[in-house]
Structure 1
C-alpha cells in the first residue's frame, strides 16, 4: 500500500541518532511498520525531533501518509512542522491573563488557527509597539484555557520581522490593543 511505501521512504531518510522526547527511534517506527501499525509508526516518525532537522520533502511524505489514513490532526501537525523546517522554530512559555484581569474568556484553540498580535520588542517610528502577527500552536493540549499557561510554538506571518527574537526575551500577546498574555521565548532555531 502507498502508506507503507511513504513511511518506509520517510524512515530511510532519518539518521539512527534521531529520537523522540519519549526515547523512540526510527528503528521503533520500522518495527511498527512490520506489524502493520501504520498510525503508530507515523506518530513515532512525526515526533523524531532530536538529533536531526527534517526537510520539507520529508514532511511531505508524512503529510501524504497521514492524509491517506484520514488522520487530519496528524496531517495538520505535519504541515505545521513542514512550515517550521522552512522558516525556523520559535517556542515560548505563555501565560494567559485571567478574564478578571482583562484576559480572554474563551480558550485558545491549540492547533494553530488563532493568529494573535505579538509585541516582540520592536517599535514604530513614533515609539509605539510594532505588533507582529503569528499563528500559535499550543503544545500537548487541544486548547489553552483562560488564565492557564503552556508551551507554544509561533509561526510568524512575516518571519523576517522576528529575526531579532532570542531565548529569554519577554513577549506579549494581544488581541487588538489590550495584552491578553505574557510569555518568555525559550527556543529559537533557524532553518537548515
Structure 2
C-alpha cells in the first residue's frame, strides 16, 4: 500500500544522529512501514504529535493517510488536531449533570461530534447571558455518561470570543437553556498566528 502522507510525516521525526534512547525515530517508523504495519506506524506518529506541537502539514498528512487506511477514529483525531491549530484549543475538567437533573440522558460521544453552547461570561446588548459554541472532544474515553467527569478539549467556532478565558475559570455547558455541565479551564492554547503550509 502506498501512503505518501505517512512518509512525509516520518520526515518530521527526530533524526538517528540526535535521538536519545527514548525518542521514536525515522528508522522505528520505517520498520513498521516495511512490514506493512501501517496502523501501528500511524498510531506512533499520532502519539508524537502530543509532545512538541508539529505543524499543520503533519496532521493534514496523517489525516489523509488514516482516511486511505479507513481508520475513522484516527482520521477524526488528526482532523481535530488541524482544527486546534487553526482555532486554538481549551482543555478543561468537565462534570456533566446527572441524568435525573438535566435534559441529557444519554452519553456524549467522545470524538468531536457534539457542539454545545458555553457560558464563558459574555452578555448580550440587552444584558442577558450570551453563549459561545465550541466543539467537544473527550480525552481517553469513548464517551462521557451523564453525571460523569472527564478532561475535554474544546475548539471554539469563533476564537476571538474566547480570548479572555484563562486557566482556573469556571464555565458552564448548555445544550438548551438549562446547565448541562460545568467545566474548570485547565489550559488555553491560542490559534496559530501564522498558518504553516498544509
User: Normalising by structure 2, what TM-score?
Assistant: 0.85
CA deviations on 1:140-181 (whole Å, 9 max, x unpaired) are: 111111110111111111111111111111110011110010
CA deviations on 1:63-105 (whole Å, 9 max, x unpaired) are: 1111111111110110001111222221111000002222521
Give the structure 1 partner of residue 75 of structure 2: 75
Distance 1:10 1:125 in 2: 47
Change (3 A) 1:103 1:26: farther
Give the structure 2 partner of residue 188 of structure 1: 188
Give the structure 1 partner of residue 159 of structure 2: 159
Query: Counterparts of 1:20-39 in structure 2 under 5 Å?
Result: 25-27=24-26, 28-39=28-39
Change (3 A) 1:94 1:40: same
Distance 2:34 2:163 in 1: 43
CA contact (8 A) 1:90 1:188 kept: yes
CA contact (8 A) 1:26 1:44 kept: no
Q: How many residues align?
A: 187
The answer to whether structure 1 residue 125 and structure 2 residue 125 are counterparts is yes
Give the structure 2 partner of residue 41 of structure 1: 41
Change (3 A) 1:97 1:76: same
CA contact (8 A) 1:97 1:103 kept: no
Structure 1, unaligned runs of 5 or more: none
Shift of 1:25: 2.8
